[in-house]
Amino acid sequence: MPVMGINLESWLAAAPAWIQSLPDGLQELLFQLYQTFIYQDRWTWFTDGLKVTFITTICALLLGVVLGLIVAIIRTAHDSQRTGKRNPVLGVVNFLCTVYLTVIRGTPMMVQLLVMGFVIMQPREQHEALICGIITLGINSGAYVAEIARSGLMSISAGQMEAGRSLGLNYWQTMRYIIIPQAVKNILPALGNEMITLLKDTSLVSVIALRDVTQQAKNIVANTFNATVPYISLALIYLVLVLILTKLLGIFERRLRASDRR
Amino acid sequence: MIDVKNLCKSFGDHEVLKGVNEHIEKGEKVVIIGPSGSGKSTFLRCLNLLEEPTSGDIVFEGQNITSKQTDINLVRRRMGMVFQQFNLFPHLTVRENIKLAPVKLKVMTEEEADKRALELLERVGLPDKADSYPIQLSGGQQQRIAIARALAMNPDVLLFDEPTSALDPEMVGEVLEIMKELADDGMTMVVVTHEMGFAREVGTRVLFMDGGNIVEQNEPHEFFAHPKNPRLQDFLSKVL
């Protein structure tokens, strides 16, 4: 299939008469829309890219939440130890967590992708690139989720831990049945924001040649030599996704608050 | 039942308990009073190791609970505690609050715990609140639920840390009433409180703490009628 398939003149010649009677500017715009979305079924490029974007976002978020919760619990457990009775193993693990947070929060996401994509993992195939992207974004997100989760754990009053312990539950049982369920509820709005950030950050995975929706828009530009319509469309796609997500999170939050009502 | 030997507790440089010795018998209702900062709450919280003593021994039913070999979680099952701020679990219903420990610690099945929870709610006069959330209840009701929760594990002794101090005045009575009923049923109780009426009426022994030590103790009538220590006389003249 010829890459250079079509130009304005040949498209106009085949177009219906009402288009030919339009002013030049509108004809140009319609042609751009045509070759961005319709010609060679390019809309499927966007939908294929969106699939990758969604998969990356969801998997990276899950990985980030799991990593973040683990790090937050380790850091909280470490910080709540009594002076003079410190557990050395916990000290070492806490130190590793601190290094992780410092490195991840201290370097740009783009650089992390370059390092993972071209130094550490070097994916060849698309599915390898997908895994590489998910892992990188997940590790990145985990560092931010960790701080969100830690603030959530610290927001629960010390009396809750004391009440749990006074009943004979051990530290982990109290964490699991009493502290974490309350903390999770408190941090859900902040986690929602993290999810939105992550969705937008997935646009960076195109540097490791993963064909997400941004990469697909770039591909279309490479074929049409016209950036306006593909990139404005791309921006609108992200905007609509974020608006939908914000709306859903708002509904979810109101639902949660409903159970706090007297 | 509880033997406290030379108990010391410091927070950093601040010495809160300065070698407290005390013996509490089964069935006693010991009331601890004293000015704020005297160490009475710290003393109580040391009894179930919510505060770890700096030095000294606490022997509970023949077991030294300050020793490293002791599993404090097993000991705490037999020592219930009621807090000033209630500390109910806000994400759980009243019934779940009471059932949590017995079920998760596998001392009761779901059904047994459920039955026990309803019994206890009956006992604290709130049988219709089983499926309410703590936030829907008044302070007095919350504290009564907290007492029910502490009783769920069938403890041998109940520790009360200023149980009525966070309550509106009109709710103090209902909580004290429950505590009095518990006392009449023979429960061993150690109560830190500012309620002198309760100390006089329910206590079998009253301790006065000041400056990290128990400076005077007696049975309630004699304690309030003829205080000997000048600090106690001063304290009583201010609170009575």
B50:A177 CB<8 A: no
Distance from the B68 Cα atom to the nearest Cα atom in chain A, whole angstroms: 12
B219 pLDDT band (50/70/90 cuts)? very high
Q: Say which CATH topology domain A47-261 has.
A: MetI-like fold (1.10.3720)
| Sign of the dihedral defined by the CA atoms of residues A143, A145, A146, A148, in that order | positive
Mean pLDDT confidence for B203-215: 95
Largest pairwise CA distance in chain A? 87
Distance from the B141 Cα atom to the nearest Cα atom in chain A, whole angstroms: 15
Backbone angles phi, psi at B5, to 5 degrees: -120, 115
Nearest chain A residue (CA) to B146: A163
A259 pLDDT band (50/70/90 cuts)? low
Return the amino acid letter for A135.
I
| Sign of the dihedral defined by the CA atoms of residues B213, B216, B221, B226, in that order | negative
A159:B89 CB<8 A: no
B150:A181 CB<8 A: no
**Does B129 touch chain A if contact means CB atoms closer than 8 Å?**
no
Q: Which of A54-68, A245-259, B125-139 has the lowest mean pLDDT?
A: A245-259
Q: Are B5 and B167 in contact (CB under 8 A)?
A: no
pLDDT at A260: 67
* Closest CB from A169, A259, A260 relative to B101: A169
* Closest CB from B85, B87, B105 relative to A168: B105
A10 pLDDT band (50/70/90 cuts)? confident
Mutation site for B-interface testing, chosen from A167, A171, A177 by largest number of B Cβ within 10 Å: A167
Residues of A in contact with B100 (CB under 8 A): 167, 169, 177-178
Query: A–B: how many Cβ contacts below 8 A?
Result: 68
Alpha carbon distance, N-terminus to C-terminus of chain A:
66
Q: With 50 as the cut, is the pLDDT of residue B128 above it?
A: yes
Mean pLDDT confidence for B67-92: 94
**Does B104 touch chain A if contact means CB atoms closer than 8 Å?**
yes
Q: Which residues fall within 8 angstroms of residue A48, CB to CB, at 6 or more apart?
A: A211, A216
